[in-house]
Amino acid sequence: MPDLPFPLPITSGWALAGAGAALEIDLDAIAANYRLLDARTGAATCAAVVKADAYGLGADRVAPVLEQAGAGVFFVAHLEEGIRLRPHVAPTARIFVLHGPMPGTEALFTRHALLPVLNSMEQVAGWRAHATQAQKALPAALQVDTGMSRFGLSEADVATLAQTPALLDGIDTKLVMSHLACADTPENPANAMQRDRLRAMAARLPAAPWALSASSGIFLGPDYHFNLVRPGAALYGLAPNAQTPNPLRPTVRLRARIVQRRAIAAGNGVGYGLTWRATGPRRIATLGIGYADGFLRSGAQGGCAWLGDYRLPILGRISMDSTTVDVNDVPESVLDAATHVDMIGPRRSVDDVAHDAGTIGYEVLTALGSRFHRTYRQAVACDASPRQNKASV
């Protein structure tokens, strides 16, 4: 056997053979989802949220595809994410950092052409001082809290800024934004309350485009689009709500390697704690994926894998590096030919996995680990010139 090369090239046969699971990311589907969302928003600018490494799928690969599809505005959560993203999009692309500048980091924003989202009076004061030192107006967004009690300027803060406009001297307000708490439940009256509160609060601030809706908010209709929307989860195929069919294309397929097969007798237990026992002779398979790969332990009960048209229920507890499934109903000839089974795929979406684990698709996607053999599927590579988008903020 030849010596194993280290580190393993991601495209090599060694890398695939050495991984417990293979994750395929469909860049064409991500681009198609962006275009669908963009088409739904009328004249509003459709930004793209690529925080958390593009929801775990690789911002360095995803952002250029979104830019080619028309995105000219991006959102990340942290300053470091913005710095990492900047080389992968055009110099003209606007990158907003949702958590704003921590004290002492203001100069890094200007150095890397990043726009802070100012969430507090302290951040407003820090950015104003930085602009004074730079001797020029500096761009930023203002976030207002319309009812989620998470980020943003309070109504009292907005009143103070309205009464003392000099507090915003040197701040070039590019966007006034807020965030919906209940957009995934369209009938919730909190949505309209937050919409109306944004109108009232933003009207007291400097003239600028307004933004309220992320992924689910887009599907509440034009009254929630304002001047800019910022989808994240929807770009990656997650359903905007549970009330209507998901119009978005799935973007990932996760296949776990079959590491071992065995036959067990009636009464034999499986996994830690022996929480599942066979009531008769069974054939089972152990897969090379576990909670260290982001395949959550809570997904064991009711969870499954798929091999073609065969559903493979998870047996017992999910371990750190392995999961055991029931293959009793699968013909031996099918098993003999198989090397992998689908954990996420044509018959089981990210949202299905989340439902079984008692969580949401966001957590499933962002938890997917780094040990997978990753491949990216794209029919046509991006060229160097992004498609012209709508008028941007």
**Residues involved in catalysis:** 51, 272
| The residue to which tokens 């009292």 are assigned | 156
Instruction: Assess contact for 256 and 20: CB atoms under 8 A.
Output: yes
Cβ atoms within 10 Å of 359's Cβ, excluding its own:
15
Question: For residues 119 and 152, is the Cβ–Cβ distance under 8 A?
Answer: yes
Cα–Cα distance for residue pair 105/83, rounded to 1 Å: 12
The two three-digit tokens of residue 141, written as one number: 């967004």
Q: What is the DSSP letter of 167?
A: G
Which residues neighbour 71 within 8 Å (Cβ) at sequence distance 6 or greater? 34, 46, 47, 48, 63, 93, 386, 389
What CA–CA distance (Å, rounded) separates 284 from 385? Answer: 51
Q: Are strands 21-26 and 373-377 parallel, antiparallel or unpaired?
A: parallel
- Residue 315 near residue 308, CB atoms below 8 Å: no
Q: Do 29 and 250 form a contact (C-beta atoms < 8 A)?
A: yes
Nearest to 55 by CA among 229, 218, 177, 235: 235
